């Protein structure tokens, strides 16, 4: 099998892009994947699931603390009009997306055929990718809210907690939390909540940009410089997310356009272990009308 080039991460350039026509590079049964790639998908069914690789993708692969998108792939019939396309049953339901552990920069779309049309996807076919919009919005709200929380904690505690630093974060619906180096006492929970509420209320713009190493230095943010090994071949710019008026984060995830679109965000608790503090949070359900873009 010819190894395709890196998958273009189209969602990183247009976060509102939920549909995309692209070309299929390969389709493999899950059982034919390399062991390292099989290990990426804990809930896969070896008898039913396949993995599709495309030239570009609008699906966010799990990573950076954000869950993967879900949705569908459907073969595009160039002779069909829009109504006929919409009436056609989805061909392939995408259940999980990961970065390939073997072939650098490729994106693996795991799923299974539905509607009895499994044989119709083949290398070279043009497919339309469609992302589950509700889940994308939820994950974007959670991810931006995590950065809001990180910014709020840094603004309050960077000079208060010895050895303070931001570490990793999880933006999964049932386990959203940010971790920090240093011991954050429980008495800070209410001030952190108040600062998070302030940032949401201010509707601070969330901007996506691409920075060189010199851009980080010019902004006085050398501490945020990612490893150059994370750059695609031939690229010299890192993707960053700026909450205007607060923090900048190197980040490959999806986000809402302003902090108020996170919706009500609750600081749930602060836990401490081995010099690391974990601040967990949750966002309100979008059906209250305040978390929509």
- CA 279 to CA 114: how far, in whole Å? 41
* Contact criterion met (CB below 8 Å) for 271 and 265: no
What's residue 79's pLDDT?
60
- Most confident among 106-115, 118-127, 190-199 (mean pLDDT): 190-199
CA 262 from centroid of its chain's CA atoms: 15
Res 290 pLDDT > 50: no
Q: Is pLDDT of 85 > 60?
A: no
Which letter, b or e, does each residue of 85-98 get, where b requires 16 or more Cβ atoms within 10 Å of its Cβ? eeebebbbbbbbbb
37-57: per-residue pLDDT in tens? 999 999 899 889 999 999 999
Find all residues with CB under 8 Å of 251, minimum gap 6, and list them.
Answer: 64, 143, 147, 239, 240, 241
Confidence (pLDDT) at 287? 57
Give residue 231's pLDDT band: very low, low, confident or very high (50, 70, 90): confident
pLDDT tens per residue across span 54-63: 999 999 999 9
58: which DSSP letter?
A: -
Coil/strand/helix, residue 229: helix
pLDDT band at 2 (very low <50, low <70, confident <90, very high): low
pTM for this structure? 0.90
Q: Find out whether 143 and 243 touch, Cβ atoms under 8 Å.
A: no
Residue 106 backbone class (left: φ over 0; alpha: ψ -120 to 50; beta: rest)? beta
């Amino acid at each position: 099998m010819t190894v395709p080039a890196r998958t273009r991460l189209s969602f990183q350039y247009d976060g509102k892009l939920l549909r995309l026509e692209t070309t299929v590079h390969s389709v493999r049964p899950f059982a034919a994947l390399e062991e390292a790639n099989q290990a990426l998908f804990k809930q896969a069914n070896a008898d039913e699931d396949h993995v599709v690789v495309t030239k570009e993708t609008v699906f966010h692969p799990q990573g950076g603390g954000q869950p993967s998108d879900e949705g569908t792939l459907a073969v595009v019939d160039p002779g069909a009009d829009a109504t006929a396309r919409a009436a056609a049953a989805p061909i392939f339901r995408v259940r999980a997306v990961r970065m390939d552990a073997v072939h650098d920069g490729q994106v693996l779309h795991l799923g299974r055929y539905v509607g009895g049309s499994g044989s119709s996807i083949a290398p070279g076919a043009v497919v339309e990718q469609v992302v589950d919009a509700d889940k994308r919005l939820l994950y974007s709200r959670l991810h931006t809210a995590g950065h809001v929380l990180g910014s709020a904690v840094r603004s309050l505690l960077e000079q208060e907690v010895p050895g303070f630093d931001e570490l990793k974060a999880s933006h999964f619906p049932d386990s959203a939390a940010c971790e920090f180096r240093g011991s954050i006492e429980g008495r800070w929970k209410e001030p952190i909540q108040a600062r998070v509420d302030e940032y949401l209320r201010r509707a601070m713009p969330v901007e996506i940009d691409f920075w060189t190493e010199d851009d980080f230095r010019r902004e006085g943010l050398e501490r945020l410089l990612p490893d150059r090994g994370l750059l695609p071949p031939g690229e010299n710019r890192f993707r960053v997310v700026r909450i205007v008026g607060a923090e900048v984060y190197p980040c490959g995830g999806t986000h809402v356009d302003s902090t108020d679109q996170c919706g009500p965000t609750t600081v749930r608790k602060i836990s401490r272990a081995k010099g690391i503090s974990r601040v967990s949070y949750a966002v309100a359900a979008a059906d209250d009308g305040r978390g929509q873009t």
